[in-house]
């Protein structure tokens, strides 16, 4: 029996392989709105807003010749036919172009990647447009809680578009793989700022790491999309793969867990193979990783090292583990930030270049801390390791103070901040880091969530040393029944 990829209605996230059901045929008018088409609902064709979209509080957009034949060169919302009847959507679109798109990327080139590569797709794909509007409204909800309802609405339509694209891919239409991959990566970005907008209840009600389901789906789709990616512009391929690699690394390695994460084995394989080559040879690479790709790719490797069995006790005195530790430590210490060459890579300003170098050094110290905890194991580190960790923490904080609070580099620093913050034992250091998180300028909910988790770690560590460090992060997340997602 032929197989089919199906969208899981219960979780609204999972892709499952099931026997292909018999498909009921139906006829649908060609003049309905694009939103009803994406939802596979009959449209009454009432303009400017059909009754179905009005009833469900959805953006109602209509096909035009320009929707199918050309990509827009204008980022003004009033220019877009899909937005001309909806002032609310125009406001969200404008906010995305002027603010959100810049905040998602750590490093923005002259052509901002989340504008250059997504707006042409949004002009022809309603699901991508709704995902962009969902991102924008979730970003706005940092200061304006009324935007939360808009985020829900646009997110719901984007999810239905994923379901529609999954069905198309399952039928064998591999040309839809790229649309599906773009949509899923956008939903990953959405889960980052929105999932804990309310510290007690996620906006979408999901506090179990929804981003991981989307990434699992991306991993399943990438082999299907390989032929299409080979024929695409290298900057667009890098735009997709660098997002995917970055999100896989940080989302699957929040703290250190009791059991090894098998996903890391596949991540290590992917990042040392063709994905690494495609990312690092493109002239637009670094918009997520900055100058620190070589450091990021060590994160899953060190996480696996943390679960390697020691032959002798205590763990930090095991000869085999010490040898492997020294190899990792040397690779981290030998890393240096390499500024971009304008002859071969897209140029950035001198100021952003300096901040990217600083961000790389921040990650270097966070990774050294992560490695020392992996060697020591759960609990307070041995005295000589604690001295080294305290030194790395001090250097980390000094570098962090030199980074402007409104820098876009904060977007990708949260893993380093959470890892290092979990090892801060001095109240004044904790207060300094907490103040930086409260006053960061990119206004993403991820900073609030990291501060929330660090508060749990610091509060519990006073009475129980098992809550110290990256292992303590895992302890407090399990204690509060939360699976944290951030980028």
Q: What is the pLDDT of residue 58?
A: 65
Chain-centre distance of CA 333, in angstroms?
27
Residue 184 CA from chain centroid, whole number:
10
Per-residue confidence at 381, pLDDT binned at 50, 70, 90?
very high
* pLDDT for the residue 16: 43
Alpha-carbon distance 139 to 408, whole Å? 14
- Cα distances from 264 to residues 183, 216, 298, 301, 464, in angstroms, run 23, 12, 11, 7, 29
The lowest-confidence range among 61-65, 194-198, 316-320, 471-475 is 194-198
The closest alpha carbon to 100, from 52, 50, 154, 156, belongs to 154
Least confident of 60-64, 215-219, 425-429: 60-64
Tokens of 6: 């199906």
d(CA 261, CA 487): 18
**Enclosing H/E stretch for 3:** strand 3-7
Residue 4 has pLDDT above 90, yes or no: no
| Residue 30, pLDDT score | 62
How many other C-beta atoms are found inside a 10 Å radius of the C-beta of residue 168? Answer: 16
**Terminal CA-CA length for the chain:** 40
Q: Which of 354-358, 429-433, 440-444 has the lowest mean pLDDT?
A: 440-444
Output the pTM of the full model.
Answer: 0.83
The mean-pLDDT minimum among 14-28, 39-53, 178-192, 203-217 falls in: 14-28
Q: Is the pLDDT of residue 59 over 90?
A: no
pLDDT-derived band at 25 (thresholds 50, 70, 90) equals very low
87 token code pair: 């002032």
- Lowest pLDDT segment from 222-226, 310-314, 407-411: 222-226
Residue 275 above 90 pLDDT? no
Query: pLDDT at residue 449 above 50?
Result: yes
Tell me the mean pLDDT in the region 64-74: 42
For the chain, percent of residues with pLDDT exceeding 70: 82
Indicate if the pLDDT at residue 153 is higher than 60: yes
> What value does the mean pLDDT take over residues 451-478?
95
Q: Taking 90 as the threshold, does the pLDDT of residue 368 lie above it?
A: yes
Do 126 and 34 touch, CB atoms closer than 8 A?
yes
Sketch the domain layout of the chain as residue ranges. 3-217, 233-479
Contact 271, 222 (CB under 8 A): no
User: Considering only 272-276, 315-319, 455-459, which range has the smallest mean pLDDT?
Assistant: 272-276
Please give the pLDDT value at position 86.
Answer: 82
Residue, of 49 and 401, whose pLDDT is higher: 401
Check whether 20 has a pLDDT greater than 70: no
CA 55 and chain centroid, separation: 32
Q: Which of 147-156, 203-212, 300-309 has the lowest mean pLDDT?
A: 203-212
Answer yes or no: are the C-beta atoms of 468 and 379 closer than 8 Å. yes
380-385 contacts, C-beta under 8 A, 24 or more apart: 380/465, 380/468, 381/316, 381/469, 382/314, 382/316, 385/316
Q: Which of 45-49, 128-132, 186-190 has the highest mean pLDDT?
A: 128-132
């Amino acid at each position: 029996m032929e197989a089919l990829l199906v969208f899981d209605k219960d979780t609204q996230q999972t892709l499952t392989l099931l026997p292909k059901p018999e498909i009921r045929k139906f006829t649908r008018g060609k003049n309905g709105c694009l939103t009803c088409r994406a939802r596979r609902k009959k449209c009454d064709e009432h303009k400017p807003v059909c009754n179905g979209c009005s009833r469900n509080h959805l953006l109602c957009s209509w096909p035009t010749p320009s929707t199918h034949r050309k990509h827009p060169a204008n980022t003004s919302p009033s220019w877009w036919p899909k937005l001309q009847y909806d002032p609310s959507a125009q406001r969200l679109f404008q906010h995305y172009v002027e603010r959100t798109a810049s905040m998602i990327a750590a490093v923005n080139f002259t052509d901002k990647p989340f504008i250059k590569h997504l707006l042409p797709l949004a002009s022809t794909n309603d699901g991508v447009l709704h995902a962009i509007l969902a991102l924008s409204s979730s970003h706005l909800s940092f200061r304006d809680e009324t935007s939360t309802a808009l985020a829900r609405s646009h997110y719901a339509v984007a999810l239905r578009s994923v379901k529609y694209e999954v069905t198309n891919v399952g039928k064998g239409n591999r040309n839809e793989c790229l649309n599906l991959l773009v949509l899923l990566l956008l939903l990953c970005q959405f889960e980052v700022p929105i999932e804990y907008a309310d510290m007690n209840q996620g906006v979408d009600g999901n506090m179990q790491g929804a981003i991981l389901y989307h990434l699992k789906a991306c991993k399943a789709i990438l082999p299907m999309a390989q032929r299409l990616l080979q024929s695409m512009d290298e900057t667009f391929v890098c735009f997709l793969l660098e997002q995917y690699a970055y999100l896989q690394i940080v989302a699957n390695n929040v703290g250190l867990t009791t059991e090894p994460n098998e996903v890391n084995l596949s991540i290590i394989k992917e990042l040392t193979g063709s994905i690494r080559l495609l990312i690092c040879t493109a002239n637009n690479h670094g918009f997520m990783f900055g100058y620190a790709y070589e450091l990021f790719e060590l994160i899953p490797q060190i996480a696996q090292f943390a679960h390697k069995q020691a032959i002798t006790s205590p763990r930090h005195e095991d000869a085999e583990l010490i040898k492997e530790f020294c190899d990792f430590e040397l690779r981290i210490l030998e890393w240096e930030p390499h500024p971009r060459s304008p002859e071969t890579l897209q140029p950035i300003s001198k100021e952003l270049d300096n901040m990217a170098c600083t961000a790389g050094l921040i990650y270097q110290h966070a990774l050294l801390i992560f490695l020392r905890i992996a060697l020591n194991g759960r609990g307070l580190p041995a005295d000589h390791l604690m001295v080294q960790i305290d030194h790395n923490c001090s250097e980390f904080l000094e570098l962090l103070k030199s980074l402007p609070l409104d820098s876009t580099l904060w977007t990708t620093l949260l893993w380093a901040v959470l890892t290092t913050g979990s090892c801060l034992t001095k109240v004044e250091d904790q207060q300094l880091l907490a103040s930086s998180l409260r006053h960061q300028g990119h206004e993403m909910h991820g900073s609030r969530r990291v501060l929330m988790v660090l508060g749990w770690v610091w509060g519990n560590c006073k009475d129980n040393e098992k809550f110290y460090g990256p292992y303590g992060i895992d302890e407090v997340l399990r204690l509060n029944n939360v699976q944290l997602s951030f980028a």
